């Protein structure tokens, strides 16, 4: 059980309990990466003239600071590059090969593009495998930028899969598919686990049927029912051809159906925050800690701080450890933040509703955390 804690206007430490144990796991704060922001917060705690053991766990969301956070956790530099149809960010270690890919057509997903293909993700993965000097047991692919709706047909095709229809023409090209050969893909990835990283909102999306992604997003676009049914039927035919008899998994609809590929190849779907917490051992660190500190750029009711804040708050609640937050701006009331599992939140800048600022400097963040650190004890 964690020690009882109290917040005071001035920081008081009971010496017989030893130093306070503080875990810092923050998202990016303004232009500062998670690791950089975390070190600033940690240094502020160390300079608060109170005994404290402080640890930093880099965190990041899919499509945000995820690949940089993984690189910082491993103590390596991410490598940028160009792949067929987009830009890549690679983190390559003996333990894991992490690929972030931004297609040239990346942008807000306003609906379904029946001709868009996920082939670029497969090409980026293929190139990263060929360039890596290791044979890491885990391949991690950030698919948050996928705009295709092809259940990963393009990705599989780029990795060597073949079928009786083209796999790189989007869902429109899957009409009539009845045969898919995955043997080249299985040989390429033999002995490795595929992990797809998606935004939290993509978790648990069904692929097929009335609740599937075609029905959900196609109706938002005002599609005619015949087009909805035809598109869903093409996806169903593809999944049956690729995985006969396999029941639909909970995350098959994630990232335009790429969740299906993860399940098909014996992999998994997770979020950036969950993955960073996993490799950083955050859950184990929380046990026996006295305080969790997280952060984000803007803490408001609409975004709730994002996936990193939600994950840290959840771990704090499970471990009965208080969670506080430092943000560039805080635009939310104390009642709402406590309903999210955050005990207190502190802004670097004064709140300006409707005009949030991402201009958070290292000096301003350090000044804020020194003030915060003095106000917490157990």
Contact assessment for residue 331 and residue 300, using Cβ atoms and an 8 Å cutoff: yes
- Measured CA to CA, the distance from residue 201 to residue 182 in angstroms comes to 29
Per-residue confidence (pLDDT) for residue 109, from 0 to 100: 53
Tell me the average pLDDT across 160-182: 97
Same fold, 6-57+281-377 and 66-271: no
Res 169 pLDDT > 80:
yes
Residue 308 makes CB contacts below 8 A (sequence gap 6+) with 25, 26, 27, 34, 59, 60, 61, 272, 273, 276, 294, 296
Taking residue 333's Cβ as centre, other Cβ atoms within 10 Å add up to 11
Res 2 pLDDT > 80:
no
255: its two tokens:
């990232």
pLDDT bracket for residue 15 (50, 70, 90): very low
Per-residue confidence (pLDDT) for residue 233, from 0 to 100: 97
Contact assessment for residue 17 and residue 378, using Cβ atoms and an 8 Å cutoff: yes
Lowest mean pLDDT among 47-61, 270-284, 306-320: 47-61
Contact assessment for residue 160 and residue 168, using Cβ atoms and an 8 Å cutoff: no
Res 13 pLDDT > 50:
no
Residue percentage of the chain with pLDDT more than 70: 91
Using CA of residue 258, residue 263, residue 265, residue 266, what is the dihedral sign? Answer: positive
Q: Read out DSSP for 212-263?
A: SHHHHHHHHTT--HHHHHHHHHHHHHHHHHHSTTPPPPTTTTHHHHHHHHHH
Mean pLDDT of the chain: 89
- Measured CA to CA, the distance from residue 86 to residue 297 in angstroms comes to 27
Per-residue confidence (pLDDT) for residue 3, from 0 to 100: 40
The model's pLDDT over 108-151, given as tens digits with 9 standing for 90+, comes to 455 789 999 999 999 999 999 999 999 999 999 999 999 999 99
Tell me the average pLDDT across 229-256: 96
Q: What is the dihedral of CA 231, 237, 239, 243, to 10 degrees?
A: 180
Domain residue ranges of the chain, discontinuous segments joined by +? 6-57+281-377, 66-271
Res 252 pLDDT > 90:
yes
Measuring CA to CA, how many Å separate 222 from each of 18, 112, 227, 247? Answer: 63, 11, 10, 29
The model's pLDDT over 296-309, given as tens digits with 9 standing for 90+, comes to 999 888 888 899 99
In the CATH scheme, what is the code of domain 6-57+281-377? Answer: 3.40.50.10350
The model's pLDDT over 77-105, given as tens digits with 9 standing for 90+, comes to 999 999 887 999 999 999 999 999 998 86
In the CATH scheme, what is the code of domain 66-271? Answer: 3.90.1510.10
pLDDT bracket for residue 221 (50, 70, 90): confident
Per-residue confidence (pLDDT) for residue 47, from 0 to 100: 82
3-state helix, strand and coil shares in percent for the chain, rounded to the nearest 5 = 35, 20, 45
- The stretches of the chain forming alpha helices (DSSP H) are 34-46, 66-74, 119-131, 153-158, 183-188, 213-220, 225-242, 254-264, 272-279, 282-286, 307-319, 334-339, 362-373
Per-residue confidence (pLDDT) for residue 117, from 0 to 100: 96
Q: What is the dihedral of CA 120, 125, 128, 130, to 10 degrees?
A: -110
pLDDT bracket for residue 12 (50, 70, 90): very low
Better pLDDT: 305 or 271:
271
Tell me the average pLDDT across 215-240: 93
Residue 367 makes CB contacts below 8 A (sequence gap 6+) with none
pLDDT bracket for residue 45 (50, 70, 90): confident
Tell me the average pLDDT across 179-205: 97
CA angle 200, 206, 207 (to 5 degrees): 115
């Amino acid at each position: 059980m964690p020690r009882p804690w109290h917040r005071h206007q001035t920081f008081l430490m009971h010496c017989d309990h030893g130093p306070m144990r503080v875990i810092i796991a923050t998202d990016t704060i303004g232009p500062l990466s998670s690791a950089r922001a975390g070190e600033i917060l940690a240094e502020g705690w160390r300079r608060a003239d109170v005994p404290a053991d402080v640890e930093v766990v880099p965190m990041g969301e899919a499509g945000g600071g995820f690949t940089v956070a993984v690189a910082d956790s491993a103590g390596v530099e991410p490598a940028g590059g160009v792949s067929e149809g987009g830009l890549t960010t690679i983190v390559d270690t003996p333990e894991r090969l992490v690929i972030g890919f931004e297609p040239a057509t990346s942008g807000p997903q306003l609906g379904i593009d029946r001709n868009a293909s996920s082939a670029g993700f497969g090409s980026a993965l293929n190139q990263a495998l060929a360039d890596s000097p290791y044979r890491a047991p885990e391949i991690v692919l950030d698919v948050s930028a996928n705009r295709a709706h092809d259940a990963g047909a393009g990705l599989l095709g780029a990795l060597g899969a073949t079928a009786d229809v083209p796999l790189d023409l989007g869902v429109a090209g899957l009409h009539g598919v009845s045969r898919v050969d995955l043997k080249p893909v299985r040989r390429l990835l033999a002995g490795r686990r595929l992990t797809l990283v998606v935004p939290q909102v993509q978790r648990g999306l069904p692929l097929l049927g009335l609740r599937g992604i075609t029905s959900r997003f196609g109706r938002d676009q005002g599609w005619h029912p015949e087009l909805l049914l035809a598109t869903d039927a093409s996806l169903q035919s593809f999944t049956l051809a690729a995985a006969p008899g396999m029941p639909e998994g909970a995350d098959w609809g994630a990232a335009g159906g790429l969740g299906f590929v993860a399940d098909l190849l014996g992999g998994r779907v997770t979020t950036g925050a969950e993955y960073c917490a996993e490799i950083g051992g955050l859950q184990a660190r929380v046990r026996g800690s006295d305080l969790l500190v997280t952060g984000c750029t803007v803490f408001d009711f609409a975004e709730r701080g994002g996936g990193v804040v939600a994950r840290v708050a959840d771990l704090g609640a499970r471990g009965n450890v208080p969670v506080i937050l430092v943000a560039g701006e805080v635009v939310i009331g104390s009642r709402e933040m406590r309903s999210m599992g955050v005990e207190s939140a502190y802004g670097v800048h004064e709140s300006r509703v409707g005009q949030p600022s991402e201009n958070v400097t290292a000096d301003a963040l350090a000044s804020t955390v020194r003030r915060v650190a003095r106000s917490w004890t157990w």
